[in-house]
Amino acid sequence: MKRIGILLFDQVEELDAAGPWEVFGLWATTCPDEASVVSLATSPGPVRAAHGLTFHADRGFADVGELDVLVYPGGRGTRPLLKDTGHLDWVRERRERTPLIASVCTGSLVLAAAGLLRGRPATTHWSCLDLLAELDPSVEVRREDRFVDDGDVVTSAGISAGIDMSLHLVARFAGVERAREIRREMEYDPLPPV
């Protein structure tokens, strides 16, 4: 059983959070003995996203409990978090207790600011690849990769790449056939139509 937490914060990019939620939520509802998913924020309750959608965090940092995977989405809301020492301390502490941390889009910028990508390959949204390199010059920035699996840290490129990364993680945890079943149920075709 994998317990997956998806982080929410003010100005999170909607699809960065909702894409992985769709993948992991579908996995959890179709195979409840294999996975569960929970949303978390500083405190439980409403969280306003980048384009006006309001999410509701199930749990706060203090009561979320242990996770097997933490998904850190991106969005405009990551920028103030890059300098929020309390938040960066929380990210480091959570990383010590969580076997796998995954980021979508500019979520990797916060991981870099927290020192979690030091000496690792990683990616982010195409428009922030240079900023990722600035935040931590030791990061091996993968400019062309849709996602980068470095074992206990997985980063993905921008926005919709979080769906691909999440399907990859389902395949990693439960096998390729399970990931194909979920992809089929979502009617998700990762190849662009044009």
* Catalytic one of 35, 105, 116, 128: 105
- Distance (Å, rounded) from C-alpha 146 to C-alpha 40? 25
DSSP string, 148-180: EE-SSEEEE-STTHHHHHHHHHHHHHH-HHHHH
In angstroms, the CA 3 to CA 136 distance is 30
CA-CA distance, 23 to 167, in Å (whole number)? 7
| 128 given a catalytic annotation | no
C-alpha pair distances (Å), 174 with each of 9, 165, 181: 29, 14, 11
The answer to whether 37 and 128 are in contact (CB under 8 A) is no
Query: What separation in angstroms does the CA of 58 have from each of 1, 8, 14, 20, 55?
Result: 19, 10, 16, 16, 10
Sign of CA dihedral 115, 119, 122, 126: positive
Residue type, 103: S
Residues with a known catalytic role:
105
